[in-house]
Homo-oligomer: A and B are copies of this chain.
């Protein structure tokens, strides 16, 4: 094994947002020297990493040159320049997750095609190189309202996804490569995080259940364990495992899924990194997803994915009507609630629905945790001065 701890080994991370910041907690814990590339000098990681580089993650030269300064490269966001990663890998730099996996996942049409090609259950879809093709398909009666439009590239937090119910909706869509997906009525939206290292050791976290904010299309509560049948949970973990296995994935893969009315599991999409649906692991699990990410990319033994207690996560998003320097209102009140841990990402500026932090609520009793989570959500407000 390489000597990673208190050594000259340098871990490079593309992206310095909140996921990077929570990763730094783990690299600090293990004293792994960490260098970060991000386009903003106000990035949450900027002040607290060992080394910070300012630059555009989508620019070939920037990513390539950054890669040449580190011993192993990973990501905290998937929208990065893959051509540069390919070249770095060719020159011998270990990069996890692998660039070829990132390329497939980065493009939602290719990602869906991958699932279809590998017999991974997913909703039916049609792929269009241009929006115009989608319109023609509709006009020729090949697709019907309602359907789910997804931009092939750079969707994030519900941007790039829209339920299209009318011609007006269709007219309002942005240009570009996209897919039209069958709208599947579902009981639950679930997620499973899978960790896999180079040795091929693979582990899944328990199934979590997600509740979305109806307007903002952002996750409102993440609940672990999901309140579903064991057979459905088992199926969800198996499907997630299959996705990671078929990719030959190295690192953390968050697989989002639908539980249909018929208790089928359909893969919605996967994220090749630590994920909002795994934040609860910091307080609830034997191994947090961020430590697991470090273990998996460094080919260390994977940690126990079981939970010590039930965990629920509430996102702290900017309140509507508030734009400006942030204030967290009623923080003192939520700190009075048992088992509550706030995480403040360090963004100085709030705007409506911006992810500013999250709060984890843990309890031995999941129903108690759910009630306290509601209380947290109704109490704390992210407003501007």
A313 to chain B, nearest CB (A): 14
Task: Check if A102 is an interface residue, CB within 8 A of chain B.
Answer: no
A–B pairs, 17, beta carbons within 8 Å: A3-B327, A5-B331, A6-B328, A6-B344, A6-B346, A21-B28, A24-B28, A28-B48, A29-B341, A30-B343, A30-B344, A286-B338, A291-B341, A295-B335, A300-B332, A301-B332, A303-B340
Partner of A339, one of B6, B286, B291, B341: B286
Task: Check if A133 is an interface residue, CB within 8 A of chain B.
Answer: no
A338 to chain B, nearest CB (A): 5
Which residues in chain A, 5-19, are within 8 Å of chain B measured between CB atoms? 5-7
Task: Check if A371 is an interface residue, CB within 8 A of chain B.
Answer: no
| Cα A105 to Cα B286 with chains together (Å) | 37
Task: Check if A345 is an interface residue, CB within 8 A of chain B.
Answer: yes
Which residues in chain A, 283-297, are within 8 Å of chain B measured between CB atoms? 286, 291, 295
Whether A335 contacts B3 in the complex (CB less than 8 A), given A28-B21, A344-B30, comes out as no
Task: List the B residue with the shortest CB-CB distance to A334.
Answer: B301
Instruction: List residues of chain B with CB within 8 A of the CB of A291.
Output: 341
Task: List the B residue with the shortest CB-CB distance to A282.
Answer: B29
Which residues in chain A, 48-68, are within 8 Å of chain B measured between CB atoms? 48-50
Task: Check if A162 is an interface residue, CB within 8 A of chain B.
Answer: no
Task: Check if A368 is an interface residue, CB within 8 A of chain B.
Answer: no
A295 to chain B, nearest CB (A): 7
Task: Check if A309 is an interface residue, CB within 8 A of chain B.
Answer: yes
Task: List the B residue with the shortest CB-CB distance to A29.
Answer: B343
Instruction: List residues of chain B with CB within 8 A of the CB of A357.
Output: 31
Instruction: List residues of chain B with CB within 8 A of the CB of A142.
Output: none
Which residues in chain A, 319-341, are within 8 Å of chain B measured between CB atoms? 326-328, 331-332, 335-336, 338-341
Q: Is the CB of B304 within 8 A of A338?
A: yes
Task: Check if A25 is an interface residue, CB within 8 A of chain B.
Answer: yes
Q: Is the CB of B332 within 8 A of A1?
A: yes
Instruction: List residues of chain B with CB within 8 A of the CB of A48.
Output: 24, 28, 48-50
Instruction: List residues of chain B with CB within 8 A of the CB of A25.
Output: 25, 28-29
Instruction: List residues of chain B with CB within 8 A of the CB of A1.
Output: 331-332
A94 to chain B, nearest CB (A): 17
| Cα A29 to Cα B30 with chains together (Å) | 17
Q: Is the CB of B50 within 8 A of A50?
A: no
Task: Check if A308 is an interface residue, CB within 8 A of chain B.
Answer: yes
Q: Is the CB of B301 within 8 A of A348?
A: no
Task: Check if A225 is an interface residue, CB within 8 A of chain B.
Answer: no
Q: Is the CB of B286 within 8 A of A348?
A: no
A356 to chain B, nearest CB (A): 8
Q: Can you add 20 more A-B contacts, CB < 8 Å, to A6-B347, A286-B338, A301-B335? A: A3-B328, A6-B326, A6-B328, A6-B346, A6-B348, A28-B48, A28-B346, A29-B343, A30-B343, A31-B345, A31-B357, A48-B49, A286-B362, A291-B341, A295-B335, A300-B331, A300-B332, A301-B332, A301-B336, A304-B338
Instruction: List residues of chain B with CB within 8 A of the CB of A87.
Output: none
Task: Check if A342 is an interface residue, CB within 8 A of chain B.
Answer: yes
Task: List the B residue with the shortest CB-CB distance to A1.
Answer: B332
| Cα A351 to Cα B368 with chains together (Å) | 49
Instruction: List residues of chain B with CB within 8 A of the CB of A327.
Output: 3, 7
Instruction: List residues of chain B with CB within 8 A of the CB of A309.
Output: 308
